[in-house]
Amino acid sequence: MSTTAYDFDLLVIGAGSGGVRASRIAASFGAKVAVVEDRYMGGTCVNVGCVPKKLYVYASQYNNAFKDSQGFGWSGTTAKFDWSTLRDNKTKEISRLNNVYDNMLNNAGVEVIHGRGRFVDKHTVVVNNQTYTAERILIATGSWPYIPNFPGSEYAITSNEIFDLADFPKRIVVVGGGYIAVEFAGIFNGLGAQTTQLYRGPLFLRGFDRDIREFAAKEISASGVDLRFNSNIAAIEKQSDGSLKALLEDGSSIEADTILYATGRKPNLQDLGFDNINIELDDNGTIKTGENFQTSEDNIYALGDITAGMDLTPVALAEGMALAKTLYNNEKITVDYNTIPTAVFCQPNIGTCGLSEEAAKEKYSDITVYESNFRAMKHTVGGRTERTYLKMIVATKTDRVVGIHMVGEDAGEIIQGMAVAMKAGATKAIFDSTLGIHPTTAEEFVTMRDPRA
């Protein structure tokens, strides 16, 4: 398949989830492919995102597990947490995964070029003073966290640095209301830090179902996180002992060892040589794409977090697969962006798929809502007051389930299965006729009988 006019059929800039998937699949169809990466194999998800974050979530859950065990008859010395052990074991695991990605690409016949790729023209990229040409080029450089500029903002850190702190912060302030902020607040609260989360709006997790947001706020606050809405930092001062003082807009202050800003991410498009090509951007700085992820340059493509879609690893993977199959296997593949399941690994977890109640009311003339709110059996003996909330939204005329949401332990695991049913077009009647596994939380989704008044 390889052309003779160019060094490669496809050159991918960025070895994250989408870029690796596209390059590996394209190579399997006979294309000559190279991947350019200037940082680490696997991108944000593997190195400073999904993977290390989930490992830290696991670590933070043991605190409550040790406490709960006493109600089940276990006793012993008080558990002690060591930050350096977690941090260093995480680093070892990430290193292993970096090698896995390297081997994956090598085994697929993809050439890996280490360095920053910059466009010379729409068919040419320079890396470390070496030029490479390609018939097609895919930009898959992902997103990057940013901190707004304000007095003392240089003392704050982002999610990139939080995993590798030299010392565990006994007091931490997390700023932001998205899933990253919510998750890290839960992590450090669970690990034993005095944790404050600030969000400038009236309620965090904008875009999620309103009931889920409100329920999660109550449970997270009850877990020990000092959750403050309509609150924001005006300035940060560094104290003589090295600690930080956050001066809030309302005139109050908070002292902390670490201040984490998780207020958003921007497309990672700096220093790519865009001056030498004609790539159109949206107002929010993402790359405009048309059919099949094509940019305003007909041979250049873009996918993942640098476009206007959902910033989720499985979405980038699906896009990478679709692009490779379309271009190199004559399969016209499109990604279905409906009913994409997602989870927030806060404590308790949030899992969601489909429409929120608010969105469902806009789309359908009539909906029926089912709910379940209870204290899980595990906690009745363990002693925790934590509650679980489940919600199902049905389009009344068709009986089709159009939204499923949950706050509770293992919500992500449970909602993944529900997403399969929703993708298949399951109706409420199908859920009702499905036998539950008893006793489980998931069975509540097939035993909901009475609509909410």
Question: Is the torsion defined by CA of 235, 239, 242, 244 positive or negative?
Answer: negative
Helix/strand/coil for 238: strand
The H or E element that residue 132 is part of is: strand 130-139
Residue 294: CB partners within 8 Å, gap ≥ 6?
Answer: 300, 301
Contact 217, 203 (CB under 8 A): yes
Long-range contacts of 333-341 (CB under 8 A, 24+ apart): 337/309, 337/310, 339/419, 339/422, 339/423, 340/310, 340/312, 340/314, 340/315, 341/415, 341/416, 341/418, 341/419
Peptide bond into 348 cis (omega under 30): yes
Residue type, 187: I
By annotation, the residues acting in catalysis are: 438
**Token digits for 5?**
């006019």
Q: Phi/psi at 161 (nearest 5 deg)?
A: -95, -20
What does each C-alpha distance from 279 to 8, 97, 186, 305, 386 come to in angstroms? 21, 33, 39, 16, 50
Which residues pair with residue 380 across a beta bridge?
A: none
- Contact predicate 259/296, CB 8 Å: no
Backbone φ and ψ of 69, nearest 5° = -60, -25
